[in-house]
Chains A and B, each alone.
Chain A
Amino acid sequence: MNKRNIIVLIGGILFGFGLSYSGMTKQEIVLSFLQLKDLGLIFVLGGAALVAAFAINVLAKYQKKPVLGGEFKPRRRILSWNIIIGAVIFGVGWGISGQCPGSAVASLGTGNLPVLVGIAAMFIGAYIRGLLDS
């Protein structure tokens, strides 16, 4: 395995570990946030964004090139109706099931096999979007 894959693997393991540690792999806990009973999710999301913001906006300034090669460049997403409508559809799905792509895959690692149904459905949903686009 090359260096890039090892670093990506470590990143993924940390991400999954953090999601499980914080309870975000449990759909019930995510739903209780969405029902405004348990505000934990906002601290997990906000905390992760703060740490990542420090890495992106501060640490990266001291580093000319990414460790794994290439160059630093932001992923620019232009605001469009697709983004807003997509976010609405995503929100309905998230509110119904309490699962999102990252937490669903991590959830599998906690032994939560029913979530395979959700992950399969996500592939189908994304595929349908691709069909409509072509």
Chain B
Amino acid sequence: MIGAFIHTLILSTTGFWTTSVQLWRLFLGGLLVGFGTRLSSGCTSGHGISGLASLSKTSLYAVIVFMGVAIVTANIVQMLGVSP
């Protein structure tokens, strides 16, 4: 958070910023992300960066699964006419 703040303050051309993703999506998505991260013992950082970096096969499978599912989900949401 501090690092992102420093970047936005000194380098960002667009400045401070607010998402236009709807609150219900942030909430529902957040619930699932929190539950899923704890159940699978890792997230995009834990499995995606640390896990892959330490050559963990378990993490590789987790990354393939969550990325595939997220791509399908994001496209379904878009097809339903929800934007951004």
A residues sitting closer than 8 Å to B (CB atoms) are 9, 12-21, 25-28, 31, 34-36, 45, 48-53, 55-57, 74-79, 82-115, 117-130
On whether the beta carbons of A123 and B34 are closer than 8 Å, the reply is yes
- In the complex, the answer to whether A84 meets B4 with C-beta atoms within 8 Å is no
Known: A21-B11, A28-B21. A96 touches B42 (CB 8 A): no
Whether B43 pairs with A100 at a CB distance below 8 angstroms is yes
Is chain A's binding surface mostly helix, strand, loop or mixed?
helix
Residues of A within 8 A of B65 (CB): 84, 87-88, 91
Contact B8 A93 (CB under 8 A): no
Q: Which residues on the A side are within 8 Å of B27 (C-beta)?
A: 117-118, 121
Q: Is the CB of B78 within 8 A of A99?
A: no
Complex interface: chain A residues within 8 A of B7 (CB) = 16-17, 20-21, 109-110
Residue from A17, A53, A107, A127 in contact with B55 in the complex, judged by beta carbons closer than 8 Å? A53
Q: Which residue of A lies closest to B36 (CB)?
A: A90
List 17 A-B pairs, Cβ < 8 Å: A16-B4, A28-B21, A31-B74, A34-B74, A48-B53, A77-B56, A79-B61, A87-B63, A91-B70, A94-B44, A96-B73, A98-B29, A106-B1, A107-B19, A108-B1, A122-B31, A125-B38
